[in-house]
Amino acid sequence: MILITGGAGYIGSHSAIKFLEDNREVVIFDNLETGHIETVETLKTIGRVEFVKGDLRNIDEIRSVFEKYKIDAVIHFAANALVGESVTNPAKYYRNNTFGTLNLLDCMIEHDVKKIVFSSTCATYGEPKYTPIDENHPQNPINPYGMSKLGVEKIMADYDRAYGLKSIKLRYFNVAGADNKARIGEWHDIETHLIPNILKSTFDKNKKFKIFGNDYDTPDGTCIRDYVNIEDLADAHRLALLYLEKENKSDVFNLGTQQGDSVKNVFDTCERVLGAKIDVEVVERREGDPKELYANSKKAKEILGWSPKRTLEDSIKTAYEWEKKLNKDVLNV
């Protein structure tokens, strides 16, 4: 079976679908701090899913999963992922993301499980020295979130040398969209991300959309990011595990579209997809936002055979369908 930590969350659950569609059996381990049990229930209608509620910070909870199930490989998403929160509460990030992963890796070694696909991040690069960013770009994180993930990358390299643990580190850029059948989607109790915030503002007049700064040194003054579709990103995990199973080699890949879109461009695309004018206000810059981040993902294409197929419009359309469903069926607003 495949163990998916954080499988009740946004990226973990969309990736779980890809493995279930390949007829693989999945155990989801999640503390449900930010993930949702409803998401797990939906996954259970798609394929064979076992669920264990537990926390990686407690080694006994994760060890019991390896004792109960025959795990062949791990896809590891469970983490906290808010940059701002990591600055004010670094302890939470190092404990959960770094120490929690150490517990997971130790249980893997104990049970002779030697394959893991890990959710890393472009935040491990820090302030870009050049764009597009390739995998050889220096890694100097500027916040504890990026540092907590970089720590794991380094630990994994050491565990490979010492214990033969093979890992694929996937460094995500921005992720957007939802399942194309709106079965699951992005569902954060506190939403900070661009596209869901634009869409939420159309449902709730108290959530007027704000652009964080239009005085950056970019063509339209707003920040540029690389928005990769969630289903494309999920596919990369399937391909990464196939690669690990075939080649048994550790490696690292950027996952992005290689295209930068400005905040203004994303906003305009939302208006076009929805066919409606959306209220907007420009406010101060948000602290810690670099002006431009986008990926060079050639390596993922050459080695994993991965290339993103879906457009920004596709991501906005599916995110909107999901947002409508979330408001109507789940939150009842």
Q: Using CB under 6 A as the criterion, which residues of the chain lie in contact with ligand UDP when the complex forms?
A: 174, 192-194, 197, 210-212, 223, 225, 263, 286, 289
CB under 8 A, 24+ apart: contacts of 280-283: 280/208, 280/209, 280/210, 280/211, 281/208, 281/209, 281/210, 281/211, 282/210, 282/211, 282/213, 282/214, 283/210, 283/211, 283/212, 283/213
* AA identity, residue 7: G
Name the residue nearer to ligand UDP (CB basis): 160 or 289.
289
Can you read off the two tokens belonging to residue 159?
A: 């565990």
What is the rounded distance in angstroms from the CA atom of residue 303 to the CA atom of residue 116? Answer: 17
Name the residue nearer to ligand UDP (CB basis): 25 or 292.
292
For residue 266, the minimal CB distance to ligand UDP (Å) is: 7
Counts of helices then strands in the chain (DSSP H, E): 12, 13
Name the residue nearer to ligand UDP (CB basis): 13 or 222.
222
For residue 94, the minimal CB distance to ligand UDP (Å) is: 20
Q: Residue 26's beta-bridge partner residues?
A: 2, 49
Name the residue nearer to ligand UDP (CB basis): 53 or 286.
286
CA dihedral sign of residues 303, 305, 310, 315: negative
| β strands within the chain, DSSP E | 2-5, 26-30, 49-53, 73-76, 115-121, 166-172, 174-176, 209-212, 224-225, 227-229, 251-255, 261-262, 280-283
Q: Counting Cβ atoms within 10 Å, is residue 276 exposed (0-12), middle (13-18) or buried (19+)?
A: exposed
φ, ψ of residue 235 to 5 degrees: the values are -60, -35
For residue 205, the minimal CB distance to ligand UDP (Å) is: 15
Minimal CB distance to ligand UDP: which residue?
Answer: 223
For residue 206, the minimal CB distance to ligand UDP (Å) is: 14
- The catalytic residues are 145
Name the residue nearer to ligand UDP (CB basis): 11 or 194.
194
For residue 211, the minimal CB distance to ligand UDP (Å) is: 4
For residue 75, the minimal CB distance to ligand UDP (Å) is: 21
Name the residue nearer to ligand UDP (CB basis): 29 or 267.
267
Give the HSE-up count for residue 162: Cα atoms under 13 Å, Cβ half-sphere. Answer: 9
